[in-house]
Amino acid sequence: MAIDWEIVMAAAFAAIGVIEYIKGFFKSAPSNAWRLLMPVLCILFSAIGAILPPWIMGGILALALSQVGYDVIISAVKAKLGAKREGE
């Protein structure tokens, strides 16, 4: 049995993005909660990627990408705008 690295990478990325999304609802949750959730999500998303239709994993990945992209892009823009305003 060969490992499908596309599914492995998709599951890992999806788990990161979904955890970041969920963190928005539970801001005071301890970091151990996220550590415990990570392997569960990785296994779940690997199964989804291997068994279910591709559009389901595609939707999960779109959520993950939008969340991580938002965090990276919007946070960077806000930081630059804040720095620019302070320097005025």
Q: What is the pTM of this model?
A: 0.79
Given this model, what pLDDT does residue 79 score? 80
Alpha helices, DSSP H only, in the chain? 5-23, 31-51, 54-69, 75-87
Please state, in angstroms and as integers, the Cα–Cα distance from residue 58 to each residue in 4, 6, 16, 48, 76, following that order. 16, 12, 15, 10, 26
pLDDT in tens, 5-37: 999 999 999 999 999 999 999 989 999 999 999
pLDDT in tens, 40-79: 999 999 999 999 999 999 999 999 999 988 878 887 888 8
Instruction: With a cut of 70, say whether residue 86 has pLDDT above it.
Output: no
**C-alpha span between 23 and 19 (Å, rounded):** 6
